[in-house]
Structure 1
Amino acid sequence: MPGRAAALDRKRERGHDMLFNDYFYRKALFTPAMFRRCFWMSRPLFTRIMDGVKVYGSYFCVKVDAIGKVGLSSYQKCTSTIRMLAYGVADDFVDEYIRMSKLSCLKAMYRFCRVVIGVFGEQYLRQPNADDTTRLFSINTSRGFSGMLGSIDCMHWEWKNCPFGWQGTYTDHSEGCTVILEVVASHDTWIWHSFFGMADSHNDINVLQRSPVFDRLAHG
């Protein structure tokens, strides 16, 4: 169309081939340890998540448009999203390697988050039930911690874009601004409770007093 810039041919197929040969091929260039370091998860876990989102929605399946051009693959869409979520990078950070535009990366991330909640939310985004409690009690009893459900701890999460007017509240002993994340986790790294957003100036006891971790117990 007159006055409109021509579409940039990013060679999507080349991006998919490079990504697949580097990480997902049977004789991939990067080892499983390197894969975990780059994706913050194992290759089987990545594959399981990708297969789940592909079944839930057709967006993550590769398609061919009206002129016969092959679209972005499932590997490209899931890799760009997980890289953005894992490292907090900009939406155009992976363009040169994965060959995805800024808008495509943002669209893939928004859809990915909604689909993951729809696919895995019922199993993983829930509170522990009676069976879970019984299992955790028995496991911890065998490990010498009778009556224990999990380990609770707090950590400081850096807030890079904290508004200037709030920086005094969210700065304490650390160099930058942070918010506090409280988590209860079992020995198998299953997170059963999380409470996020308290200011950096609070200590663990103050966070625990404001946390809803004991609400269900207090209400019977």
Structure 2
Amino acid sequence: MKRDIYCKIVKEVEEHDPWFQQRRNAAGELGLSSLQKVTVAFRMLAYDAPADSLDECLRLGESTIIESMRRFVRAVVEVFGDEYIRAPNKEDTARLLDMNQRRGFPGCWEALTAYIGGSLNEINVLHRSHLLDNLAAGEAPKVQFSINEHYYTMGYYLADGIYTEWATFIKPIQSPVGRKRQHFVVQ
């Protein structure tokens, strides 16, 4: 995550919930910082880590870690939910398609990856993607693009090998043979 995005999240969460603000205790010593409390929540989410595995590296007690996670998730939903935790609108969809077009992937909605052996798996990722809801219902925004003089009217997703075999999931070639196929390979 870029530093400026991380700092924005910390600032917004700290302003939303005073519990994240650093305070002095009864002895006048500074307590835990908002950075410690937010970082532990991010680590729990990113690494699917239990609270007791993070207590030593960030110097927080297990109960504080659990409270940080609970309050962080609530704050993020309340602060950012209306803008970011929603189904994409037409402008969002157009922006995604344009961004991926510039990256060399015309007609690509997004790249899907799943954590093998982690907290996320294929079914969870599929259920969490608002973009896939319409696709599963047989509906999708119209897209027009051509690759090698073949014309397509439906977008696709870049996906890793864990995903279901759907025509709309484009997976990389595992063992490419020849220079031409090596441009679409899993590293």
Which residue of structure 2 aligns with residue 193 of structure 1? 131
Q: Which amino acid aligns with 1:47?
A: C
- Quote how far apart the aligned CAs of 1:91 are: 0.7
**Out of 8, 23, 46, which is 2:6 matched to?**
46
Contact preservation (8 Å) 2:22, 2:31 = yes
Contact preservation (8 Å) 2:93, 2:109 = no
Contact preservation (8 Å) 1:154, 1:204 = no
Q: Which amino acid aligns with 1:92?
A: D
Matched residues in 2 for 1:143 and 1:202: separation? Answer: 23
Matched residues in 2 for 1:136 and 1:122: separation? Answer: 19
What are the equivalent positions in structure 2 for 1:69-88 lying under 5 Å apart? 69-88=29-48
TM score, norm. by length of structure 2? 0.58
Matched residues in 2 for 1:91 and 1:64: separation? Answer: 24
TM score, norm. by length of structure 1? 0.50
Which residue of structure 1 aligns with residue 116 of structure 2? 158
Cα root mean square deviation, aligned: 3.8
What are the equivalent positions in structure 2 for 1:140-179 lying under 5 Å apart? 148=107, 150-151=108-109, 155-159=113-117, 178-179=121-122
- Consecutive unaligned residues in structure 1, runs of 5 or more: 1-40, 162-177, 185-190, 209-220
What is the identity percentage for the equivalent residue pairs of Structure 1 and Structure 2?
A: 31
Contact preservation (8 Å) 2:37, 2:65 = yes
**Out of 84, 105, 114, which is 1:124 matched to?**
84
- Quote how far apart the aligned CAs of 1:120 are: 1.0
* Shift in alpha-carbon separation, 1:183–1:68, aligned structure 2, 3 A: same
- Quote how far apart the aligned CAs of 1:90 are: 2.1
- Consecutive unaligned residues in structure 2, runs of 5 or more: 134-160, 170-187
Contact preservation (8 Å) 1:50, 1:74 = yes
DSSP 3-state at the match of 2:166: helix
